Chains A and B, each alone.
Chain A
Amino acid sequence: MITDRQRSLHPNDAEISNWSGSISFRPSYVEAPRSEEAMCAIVRQAARRGLKVRPMGRRHSSSLIIATDDVAVSMENMCGLINHDTEERWALVGAGTDLDDMGRALNEVGLAVHNLGDINVQTAVGAISTCTHGSGRRLTNLATMLIGGRMVTADGEVQEIGRDILHAARGSMGTLGLFTALKLRLLPRYRLRRREWCTTMDECFGQVEELSRGSRNLDMYWYPRSDRAKLRMLDPPGEGPERIRGAKLVMAREGWSNEVLSRKRTLRFDEMEYAMPIEAGPECFLEVRKRVMEHHRRTVGWRVLYRYVASDDAYLSTAHGRDTVTISLHQNNTLPYDAYFNDMEEIFLRYGGRPHWGKKHSLSAEELEPLYPKWAEFRRIRRKLDPEGVFLTDYMSRLLEGR
């Protein structure tokens, strides 16, 4: 019998696509290890052969961070709730656990994550590695949940994710090592009332700032082909405003947080998202809206999403050191997005925007470094952990090293 330790890398000749289908790649090897031991063997063999290793979650990212020509490592067999302490409010989960499954498992033991994005199909490690977030002025991104765990480093050894590298590990895009288990800081499980209100931009935009202060989770969808808007609010039952001036309540539902924070989305799309300082959010959004209405309505029917994220101190967090507004552009995955996204990116950058790591953008290290005060510190830790660049594909190298 061949053990995990003895087996060689598994050749692959199939093309792999991301969720939206806009990125395709053909790794020479695809692995789905079932143990840390197997993962260590994969990394050692890859390093010996000079191959690059990329972790692969649910492939929901639409940037090239997921692509590799060499070794793709799926986390699908490293999942489930490993350990928890309801009283101390933490859990250890397999890195490949998807957020939906994780939410259910945590709920059963009386725990919950502090927030979720609009969808919850991503793996926990994918969300944490790309600073995926939901909306809420007082709520940080999902990467900030990470308080420890284990990873396989570039030399094929298992290492604790210690406090000394925690700020780098949050949002590290798989470049410090392959995370196998994630220790997460959590909340006691809680219920929320989800409400959605239809309104128009003229009626709602002047109220959004104030509403965002009075609601736990508030975001706004703007519909470019009608100038209508939808406000989505999630609050503890009995809290939050009962009425919104000029808006009609079209949906109300109460449930555990993991049941109501996200919604199921089957329609596939490509996306660009930038994170701006919160003060710049309204002005930036109005410029985006004007540009879309003047130049892009012919081909763009999808909404634009406006969200809030609280500041944190992860080195590569898009909300590092500043309360943040994010603006997301969407386009059907069957329609061209380049002209739209490229044109709008110029606006985001003028407002000090930082691109979402898992979505479309055109920046590389040279443009990114000035946006992140702790860029050099992250680079120092990354180089120390992976001096040979086992986890740096060409794209990741351009992104983080500029070469």
Chain B
Amino acid sequence: MIAGSMTWAIPGGREPERSTGPEPESTSYDMVCLLNIGDEDANVSMWAYYEHREPVGPYLLTVGARRVRHVRINDLIDPEAVPLETEYGLVIRSDVPVVVQFWRQDTERGKAVATAAAIPLD
């Protein structure tokens, strides 16, 4: 069974700078969740788009066959750390179909979690 798409977009990124409570459990963060139900590893590249500068990327990662991978945007440094408190969007391309979901934990004023399906582009 083939499930998912090979290109996804997440327009609404913005990682909160402040956190409340003990870390790392209470760190504010954005996260991308990738699901690969196929029988081949997914080679994924992500590009970060910004309001006032050219896109940065690729952020490269692999999601194993029949595996899920959660990637915190705060942790990305290669090729460049994504700035906090800054609007960004992601375009995610994979060489096999995957399913992508976006997740945010914001603890600046108490703990709030929001999730949204990413938008398939193909």
A residues at B contact (CB < 8 Å)? 200, 202, 223, 225-228, 267, 297-302, 332, 334-335
Can you offer 29 A-B residue contacts whose CB atoms are under 8 A? A200-B24, A202-B22, A223-B75, A225-B29, A225-B74, A225-B75, A225-B81, A226-B29, A226-B74, A227-B24, A228-B24, A267-B77, A267-B78, A267-B79, A297-B84, A298-B17, A298-B83, A298-B84, A299-B84, A300-B81, A301-B75, A301-B76, A301-B77, A301-B81, A302-B77, A332-B77, A332-B80, A334-B80, A335-B81
| A226 cross-chain contacts in B, Cβ below 8 A | 23-24, 27, 29, 72, 74-75
Q: 8 Å CB contacts to A: which residues of B22-46?
A: 22-24, 27, 29
* A119 vs chain B, min Cβ distance (A): 15
Report B87-117 residues with CB < 8 Å from chain A CB.
Answer: none
Known contacts A301-B74, A301-B75: A335-B17 contact under CB 8 Å? no
Does B24 contact A332, Cβ atoms closer than 8 Å?
no
B86 surroundings in chain A (CB, below 8 A): 298
In the complex the two chains form, is B79's CB within 8 Å of A332's CB? Answer: yes
What is the bound-complex CA distance between A302 and B81, given in angstroms? 7
- Confirm or deny: B118 has a beta carbon within 8 angstroms of a beta carbon on chain A: no
Option from B22, B27, B80 in Cβ contact (under 8 Å) with A225: B27
Please, how many angstroms separate the alpha-carbon atoms of A151 and B74 in the complex? 48
The distance in angstroms between the C-alpha atoms of A334 and B78, with both chains bound, is: 11
With A226-B23, A227-B23, A227-B24 as contacts: A299 and B81 at CB distance below 8 Å:
yes
- Is A297 touching B24 in the complex (CB atoms < 8 A)? no
* Distance A206 CA – B5 CA, assembled complex (angstroms): 46
Which residues in A have their C-beta under 8 angstroms from that of B79? Answer: 267, 332, 334
Residues of A within 8 A of B84 (CB): 225, 297-299
Contact A332–B81 (Cβ < 8 Å)? yes
**B residues near A267, Cβ cutoff 8 Å:** 77-79
* B82: chain A residues within 8 A (beta carbon): 301
What's the minimum C-beta distance from A105 to chain B, rounded to whole angstroms?
A: 31
Residues of B within 8 A of A298 (CB): 17, 83-86
Residues of chain A lying within 8 A (CB to CB) of residue B83: 298-299
Q: How far is B75's CA from A300's CA once the two chains are assembled, in angstroms? A: 10
Tell me the smallest distance from the CB of B60 to a CB of chain A, in Å.
11
**Residues of B close to A228: CB separation below 8 A:** 24
Shortest CB–CB separation between residue A295 and chain B, in angstroms?
10
Closest A residue, CB atoms, query B86:
A298
CB distance from B99 to the nearest CB of A (A): 25
Residues of B within 8 A of A301 (CB): 74-77, 81-82
A302: chain B residues within 8 A (beta carbon): 77, 81
CB distance from A107 to the nearest CB of B (A): 30
Q: Please tell me if the beta carbons of A335 and B24 are within 8 angstroms of each other in the complex.
A: no
Q: A223-B75, A226-B23, A226-B72 are in contact. List 10 more A-B contacts (CB 8 A).
A: A202-B22, A227-B27, A267-B78, A301-B74, A301-B82, A302-B81, A332-B80, A332-B81, A334-B80, A335-B81
| Residues of chain B contacted by A334 (CB below 8 angstroms) | 56, 79-80
In the complex, residue of chain A having the shortest beta-carbon distance to the beta carbon of B77: A301
In the complex, the 4 A-B pairs of residues with the closest C-beta atoms, listed nearest first:
A301-B81, A227-B23, A225-B74, A226-B24
Structural contact, A297 and B23, CB atoms closer than 8 A: no
CA distance A225 to B28 in the complex (A): 9
* Cα–Cα, bound, A402→B81 (Å): 37
Q: Residues of B contacting A225 with CB < 8 Å?
A: 27, 29, 74-75, 81, 84
Q: Give the complex CA separation of A334 and B77 in angstroms.
A: 11
A21 smallest CB distance to B (angstroms):
13
State the CA gap A334–B79 with chains docked (Å): 9
